[in-house]
Structure 1
Amino acid sequence: MPLTAGDPVRVGRYRLLARLGQGGMGRVYLGRSPGGRAVAVKVVRDALLRDEGFRRRFVREVEAARRVTGFFTAAVVDADPEGEPAWLATEYVPGLSLRDAVARHGVWPEEGVRGLGAALAEALAAVHAADLVHRDLKPSNVLLAPDGPRVIDFGISAAAGDTALTQTGVVIGTPGFIPPEQLRHDSSGPAGDVFALGAVLAYAAAGVGPFGSGASHAVNYRVVHEDPDLGGLPPALADVVARCLAKDPAQRPAVAWLLEELGESEPAADGRVRQPVPAPDEDVTTAGWMPGPVADSAARLRAETPTEPLPRPGDGTPQSLPAPSPSSPAVPVPVPVPAPPGTRRRRLRTVLAAATALAVAATGTVLWRVTAGEDGNGPTRPPNLERLWTHTLADGQVLATASEETLYLQHEERHEITALDVTDGSQRWDRRMKVADVRRDKGHLKSPGNDIRVTAVSGGLLYYGSNDHLYAVDANSGDHRWRYMDDSFHASPVVVGDLAYAHMTSFFYVLDTRTGEELWDYGYGVNANGDIAVTGDVLLVHSEKKLIAVDLRTREQKWTHEAASEAATGLAVADGKVYFGTRDGALYAVDTSSGDEVWRRTFEGELWDGRLGGGAGMPEVAGGTVYFENDGYVSAFDAGTGSRRWQRKQRADEVTSLDVVDDTLLVTDSDGGMTALDTRSGRTGWRESPGGGDGTSFRITGEIVVTESAGRLTAYRAAT
């Protein structure tokens, strides 16, 4: 895709030519070094870098990745993991992913699978020698270049999985390729990568993973409890793959054994002649193990790699990012898929083919997709979403939060907050905010404040933190109201009347919204890891499996309710009941006055195992119905009795939000799409992709849908 106004033209010493995609960890660009070498440059998301745990882990993983020097791993060339922003550059691999190669050209013969397996085993040997575990080896993380395959994204999934932005208990990886010990939340080491390698080889030989497809919880169940289906594999190959897929990690072969078994060129005991792995500089078309059509596609992609920036609409000039500090390189990313035969060359060069996975998100499965007009110059207007307005974000500016009428943009470094009208995008106000002059730590003055972070909008006040203070400003005008010393632990207050309830890990405190004065506080006695809800005279908060209710009149604990699994969602309160989802996929309704469980509903069926699911999503309550999602399924339950009214499986693997507008349930998903369901029947009315794929974020206020993608806000009115 061409660069847009929100994209840099240079990162470090690399000139950027096009955008390859974006995912949970950041945007990825095609760049060129001063000497003319093509590189893939990844710029890490600011949201991840604000998590210091992620930052530290990312630096360590980048340093480790620098030590990976195998023939069949993409070369790492440069990085600045401690920069602002952090970025990394790797060898650009012009080839299809194995997933796309199988989808486009079909399954591979045994000789090709063996040659591929030997190359991947050698790549894993290099990764393990650097004290790394890949943890997300899958067909989309194997690129097929003219000079051989490359394993990509080693180390990055581990860094993403260590961040506080990832929910506790969520499994990193892709269903069908995650080893059973990782699904059981046991430790996972190099043997887990061997399991994934076996699943990848089965996919190449049969066109489907050895544990089938479908809902993630069903696939995960089969991985843990059932034998793989290897009926479509030749016997000798099936034997090797079966060893890799052993349930017990100790029973799986070592990578060295796989190298010998798959890479030998002498006749084996069964009389078969193994195909040798090609040398790194050998053309795979003469090596004989990569299918001819796949090799042709890889060669065509290499020839089509742009050498100059792709044309883009003239809507602004991107800004260069700072030059790097000398540091270590990191991990590669997938490359574009070739256009099908007959597609115009101009479209191939402009769109850079839209079916490649950017598998670097904390969830382990992130897709991106381009929605373009026939001329390839940008998104077409979805017919069910009436476009209202668009707004280009300044470099470093992001959408921080929203109320029913206003969007609030923040620029951390400039200390600026901008308020936009939701309906027409007009500017309501724009202010440079106050920041804490100094920070005190045990009586000593420390560094001056240098950024701001919006935390919440509630009760007519907008809250942001700077250094050791929490600030409140008038949400309608931006005028300063007060500040409160919070020692840099910036809460997201919930306002009820003239009181703001600010939740921390082990306690909450109450502020007077008129003055910022602290009135009182309460300690839970345990660490509470969920968001709070306030209803009537009760404050509710989760501590793992336990839901705690605090009586705000007596300032004492009122009751507790213990679920069968840890809480996975926020709290939705309506008509005297609080609704929430748990890790095992269950939906609970609890009476807010007594703590009694009113009802509980779980997914049913012999393949359902809550430990292996993706975790429940935030329930939405409207009109006497609770709408709930889990693993891409959307269900509607009677709010009073819990009886199920309907259930629908969505096209994407994961649903990211549910919003009720009139008689329509708007469902956003992990593919960057939006689906409109009838609230009474669950029938699909329409589905559109209004943004730039999985990197699109949504804000829905009433019937207005606002997307943030590629440095731009776009507002639509949804058909309901």
Structure 2
Amino acid sequence: MKPLESGDPIRLGPYRILAVLGEGGMGKVYVGQDGEGRPAAVKVLHPHLAHDPHLTQRFVREAQTARAVTAGSVARVLDARTEGGRPWIATEFLTGPTLADAVAAHGPLDEPTVRALAAALAHALRDIHAAGLVHRDLKPANIVLTTAGPRVIDFGIARPEHGLTLTTTGQVPVTPGYGAPEQVLGQRVGAPADVFSLGAVLVYAASGRPAFEGAHVAAVQYEVVHGMPRLDRVPPALQPLIGPCLAKDPAARPLPERIARQAAPPRGADRAWRKGPLAEDITTRAAGLHRLTTPPGGAASGAVSRRRLLTGLAVGGSVLVAGGGAAWWNLRNGDGRGGPFDIPPAVAAPQGRVLDAQKGDYLLGSTPEPLWTVPEAVAENTPAPLPVRDVVVTAAPKGGIAARGVVDGSVRWTAPDAVAVNRYLSLSDRLVAATDRNGTLVTFVASTGEPKWTSPAEAAWLLAADEEAVYLVTRDRRVRCVGRSDARIRWTVEAGADLGKDAASRGLAAHGRLVIAAADGDVVALDTSDGRKAWSRPGQSADGRAGLARSDRTLCITGRNLSAADLVTGKDRWTAENPKVPNADAVAWGPPTVHGPHVYASVLSYPFRYDLATGRPSDWPYNGLLRCDPPSPLVVQGHGLWSVAVNADQGGVNVIDFTSGGRPSWVYPIIRTPDRYWLTAADNRVFLLDGTTLTALPVF
């Protein structure tokens, strides 16, 4: 929340404008207050969009249409007008956390509360559909938990079934992972699409994890259309309620009335909104709103000072909503309790700009300049760079770990006592986990570096993490599980494989399994609930540890061969045919990369692409033709495949353009330490580690 600036309106219709709440792609949102002291969220189109008369008319018309929903289950649209050439929409101002924030702060909801949530949201959809509308963007961030129960907000893309959607060029008209398959495919959307979104919302509420996951937006959308929802973490008693909502066929999804009946929340389940941690959040936000909108002496007029603005925010912000596709802004500033387990939500990931040669961003046949380069940015013994939303974590040159901003490479925070060579992990993009010199597991807020919880885990190095725990190797070479909710050691076991030393083993945790690529080439899977061995693959790699990557329950493993297995059971799914090499007993596959329906891996210094479901070589022009360094990671980002090719003295980054049939596009001849490099990527940026230099490269 910010004070008003030059150019901001002082009044819009009956609303006195108090402060700036946020700004999105479509417009700006303000805190407004009418003559009777009632607050509202007031959204105004950006000036450059307000000049389009058709867009302006649609902006107001769709908001007026949404006013037809008058039930108490939704945030009401209060007014919408075009005034002085500036169209605006005022919506009811709700106090309370969004479902997204509530789950992030307190964990998944228990079964009775999920049932109460399901019944309330089903009634909300019934009311919306009865008014002839389809919401089209139901998601955890668009559900506010108030003392009166859940309320649905943001009618920015709601519309009649025959109407148009208010979007701008390049906007994604649906939130990945929550929009129905027909929305992803651009087909006609009706009321069943909202039911699909409801199912995805309930998976998140019950498990704390999305129903569909992927490393990239396209991968998530592929899972929505072709994959199965992740119901394994949903309590079994709730799966019959949620599963039918996520049917691919719209006609197979239940009606909201049936969902409400089947939810059957027990008596008193709605107390979650009035007592306990959620109620405390709501009360804190209400106090913050009161301070903001009530001047000294109780007058309902006068400007809001910067001190009052910040004071009102300091005791808890409020969730507010406006239409027009600009989504919502959550002004949360903690829940007032503090402490090592009071973890703020993950910050928004700043998206890099995707370059386009047709728009003059670069010349075909040439390579654009890096986004930024910082020489001597990292220590020589750094692990791979770790992007975590708005920062990238590496070993600091003078010891410890450092987080640099992904936009400009500047240092955001450091943790001098952390031991980088013991590796670091992202915990849901909210915390960075590391170890100190005493083997203590330490955590820091990813965006700010604020220290959080610790555990005396006697850690030698970290293996992996999931939503429940952090998994590590102890100093006596055993595997240990430390709970994220209480920092307590849950179990410690022998791995059944040689873990090596100096962080020689790696891990991957998902679906109740910790899969370890051991230093001796074995692959071992442990049950994350108690550490018992679930399955193993001895001798997977003849030269060091095997490579691991996954998509949902499909685990890809490289080493002596490229194969896929069921992550939970270890059962084989397919094995790619190894190339025949004269006078050689075996070949070695490089680390695998899963992207969408494909897995990429290199063998004999050439990258290949395989169908993830079948293991068949994909129809790709560059299968086995473009050379790369055997241990090079293969990174998919933007519309390109990135890899490293080196010789004895130097190397470079090669990029293959997927959009032009696989022709080579860019070559960065910039690697000067071919024995110490790594590639990783996130949010339309590729990060290159070259010795002690860290570079961020653009994507196309």
TM-score, length of structure 2 as denominator length: 0.47
Give the number of the structure with larger relative contact order, counting CA–CA contacts within 8 Å between residues 6 or more apart: 1
